Structure 1
Amino acid sequence: MKKAIKLLSILFFFGVILMSCEGPAGIDGSDGTDGADGVAGADGTAICMTCHNAGTAYAAKFDQFYASAHALGTYFDRTGDCSGCHSTDGYLARMDFTSTSEIFDLDLTEQSAISCRTCHNVHTAYDATDWALTFTDQVTETILGLDNTDVASGVFEDMGDVNMCVQCHQSRNPIEVPSATSTTDVNISHYWGPHHGPQGNILNSQGGVEVGTGYPTTAFNPSTSFSHDCITCHMNEGNHSLALNESACTSCHSDIEDKLAAIQDEVEGKLTSLGRTLAALGGLDPDTETETVWNETLGEHVETIDTVGYHAMGSGYGGYGDNPVAADLGRCVFNYLIIAEDQSLGVHNPDYIITLLDNTITLVETL
């Protein structure tokens, strides 16, 4: 029995060896019949076509936006803490901040200009949700923080989608702005003041140095919902140029043009008069515009120089002033600047702006 098992083992061993031995490969045989086609995969372009299609809706918004001031006028100061509003990269970085002071640590050497990606989650899910807004949390602090609680509370109304706008359309840190009762001199300069976008403060009935009394205590709500205040007027019917479209108001206010004109005429007249007075007192320098026009009497072209606005007098940079002025004059200069920089001539909050303007004029008459 043992011999039989041994013999079988030897035969198996040699069988394995013989099976593993192969001669040279033969000529390839002919191809077999193709198998049935599998289920077709998704079209690779289908995702892209959600937006990049033959329609003109996207192209229209693109063209509108690139005619706006956001596209054309914000790419000037885009380094350091300025990049938090003057570049897409800096703006999106601010979403992760836990403190306003972190903006001073922004060190972005390559920033892109404000674009669709600043406000929308472009190329995130590659579907219609990419048009969702990027940054709509309630704005609980101003861009650079506020030292003076008389100038702003630091907390805005929760304005829903409009929070997107207020993230940047608010006063920067107003360095050395006197409170309504301070008696200490302040240093002002060309760059001193609320900066160029305090509309969020104005809408929230705050931001000026509130001398006198009579100010509204609640935010201004020009539409039926805070969440559409900016959008209703500046983006009516897909208007990505963000230019004011009065037709958004006419369904409720048939006389809107006359109402707006009356408010703006009043504010412009008072603001111009206040500016001239403050310039004479040494608080403001004029911004001028030179134009060449034909003089019929002289029979030749002449240059005209017109005053188109004012800025705080002095040459300091970054908000730090080198022109010391009395506290009352500083208050008046700051209030002039925040009304002028709001650029609505009263429309963004008529009660607040006109009250602030009238009270400031009353104060400046005592100087």
Structure 2
Amino acid sequence: MKTSHLLRSLMVIASGFLMIQCTSEYELVQGPPGMDGIDGIDGVDGVDGTASCVSCHSNAFREPIRVAYAASRHGSGSTWASRGTSAVCSRCHSNDGFIDIVSMNFIDSTGLVIPNPDGYAIGNPINCSGCHDSHRSFDFENDGNDKAVRTIAAVNLFLDPNTQIDIRNSSDELGKSNLCVNCHQPRNSYAIPVGTEDYEITSSRFGPHYGAQSTLLEGIMGANIPGAVGYPGVGAAGHRSGSSCIACHMGPTTDGTDGGHSWKPTENTCIACHTNGAPSEVTDYESDMATLKALLIAEGSLLDNDRTVPGVYSADVAKATWNYRTLLQDHSHGVHNPNYARALLKNSIEALQN
């Protein structure tokens, strides 16, 4: 009985091996296809989202941007290498520092937004990732195309955190130009001279540094010396109320070297308002700047190379020195706000000549 049971077990095991061997050599033979299923309900036609994205996110669209950017001061300048690692200068001279500022990643004990207080190991130029991040809305038809800029929020100024600039008008309804204001504003190293008391200039770099563009455009942060020429209202300049950083500096190019991401103002934008042709300069600007410079050199507060001379000066001399440096470092030759520039110049000259 036991022998018979053992034989049956061995036969089962042997059959298993035979089946394994057969399975390894088995080839699947496809049968005839089955019947088609029932068609589903057609969807509603819409806009191809990918096609909408590709209109901007394609090499053909981006290549001219790369070329223009490479020729711009943002792309070809050198200050990022020398100042981009600084815990102070990196806010505008480093891509990483700028991102930290607009993202509010670091805040000091006074509540001021700052770049990384430890500085940065490497300074990188402001590039695509510095200014662009992600879209706030993909419903461009109703919400507008924000071009995925990192911020469109109004900007509280370094020099006076209680003062805010919001460049938002018919030419820039979303306020994309506010991104520019984050850097193109006076740094807070020196205070604007006020009052009638003597004022001490403590540095050869006295003035608003190189970022007076947004404040001159707004018509603020000059030392408003009383004089024969009245000061325009804040925000009253035509380039402020009816135009913007984006509109003037990123308009349609004339020959590929201006407009767009070169950030060089293009005449194509100017003639939209200045139908008789773009003005070459503000009336009397160059001659008035030369006159004011000569007066300040005579007062001892300014050198011929435009550096300031540390020392104690009368209120009018200190204010006129601030105004000269503001207009010089704005770099627009008064174009950003001609009436405000004219008032600062004329009244500064009048105060020193009297």
Counterpart among 329, 333, 347 of residue 341 in structure 1: 329
Partner residue in 2 for 1:171: 186
Counterpart among 90, 97, 100 of residue 90 in structure 1: 97
**Contact 2:91/2:101, CA 8 A, preserved across alignment:** yes
Partner residue in 2 for 1:5: none
CA 1:271–1:131 in structure 2 vs 1: closer, same or farther (change >3 Å)? same
**Contact 1:136/1:162, CA 8 A, preserved across alignment:** yes
SS of the residue aligned with 1:324?
strand
Deviations 1:76-102 (A, max 9, x none): 411212111111111111123263253
* In structure 1, distance between residues paired with 2:30 and 2:226: 90
CA 1:31–1:337 in structure 2 vs 1: closer, same or farther (change >3 Å)? farther
TM-score (norm 1): 0.70
1:33-182 to 2 correspondences below 5 Å: 53=58, 55=60, 57-73=61-77, 74-75=79-80, 76-78=82-84, 79-97=86-104, 99-103=111-115, 105=117, 107-121=119-133, 131-139=147-155, 141-143=156-158, 145-146=159-160, 154-159=163-168, 160-179=175-194, 181-182=195-196
**Contact 1:177/1:186, CA 8 A, preserved across alignment:** no
Deviations 1:129-176 (A, max 9, x none): 89411121101x223x439xxxxx622234311101111111111424
SS of the residue aligned with 2:262?
coil
Aligned residues: percent identity? 28
Counterpart among 297, 306, 325 of residue 313 in structure 2: 325
By how many angstroms is 1:105 displaced? 2.3
Partner residue in 2 for 1:185: 199
* In structure 2, distance between residues paired with 1:130 and 1:31: 59
* In structure 2, distance between residues paired with 1:194 and 1:357: 16
Counterpart among 223, 226, 229 of residue 212 in structure 1: 226
By how many angstroms is 1:212 displaced? 0.5
* In structure 1, distance between residues paired with 2:260 and 2:226: 39
Counterpart among 27, 32, 45 of residue 28 in structure 2: 32
Counterpart among 262, 272, 275 of residue 254 in structure 1: 275
* In structure 1, distance between residues paired with 2:203 and 2:127: 32
**Contact 1:64/1:239, CA 8 A, preserved across alignment:** yes
CA 1:219–1:285 in structure 2 vs 1: closer, same or farther (change >3 Å)? same
The structure with the largest strand share of the pair is 1
Partner residue in 2 for 1:295: none
Q: List runs of 5+ in structure 1 lacking aligned partners.
A: 1-10, 37-44, 148-152, 288-309, 315-322
SS of the residue aligned with 2:307?
strand
RMSD value, Cα: 3.6
CA 1:185–1:250 in structure 2 vs 1: closer, same or farther (change >3 Å)? closer
TM-score (norm 2): 0.73
Deviations 1:244-289 (A, max 9, x none): 11221223322233xx2351x51111011111221122111122xx
**Contact 2:316/2:348, CA 8 A, preserved across alignment:** no
CA 1:167–1:203 in structure 2 vs 1: closer, same or farther (change >3 Å)? same
Partner residue in 1 for 2:286: 268
CA 1:334–1:51 in structure 2 vs 1: closer, same or farther (change >3 Å)? same
CA 1:29–1:196 in structure 2 vs 1: closer, same or farther (change >3 Å)? same
Letter in 2 for 1:156: I
CA 1:190–1:234 in structure 2 vs 1: closer, same or farther (change >3 Å)? same
Deviations 1:39-65 (A, max 9, x none): xxxxxx99997767562x211111011
**Contact 1:175/1:192, CA 8 A, preserved across alignment:** yes
Higher relative contact order, structure no. (Cα contacts within 8 Å, ≥ 6 residues apart) = 1
* In structure 1, distance between residues paired with 2:239 and 2:113: 34
Partner residue in 2 for 1:307: none
CA 1:348–1:268 in structure 2 vs 1: closer, same or farther (change >3 Å)? same
Partner residue in 1 for 2:213: 199
* In structure 1, distance between residues paired with 2:207 and 2:57: 44
1:299-314 to 2 correspondences below 5 Å: 310-314=306-310
CA 1:203–1:106 in structure 2 vs 1: closer, same or farther (change >3 Å)? farther
**Contact 2:217/2:239, CA 8 A, preserved across alignment:** no
* In structure 2, distance between residues paired with 1:52 and 1:338: 39
SS of the residue aligned with 1:256?
coil
SS of the residue aligned with 1:186?
strand
SS of the residue aligned with 2:238?
coil
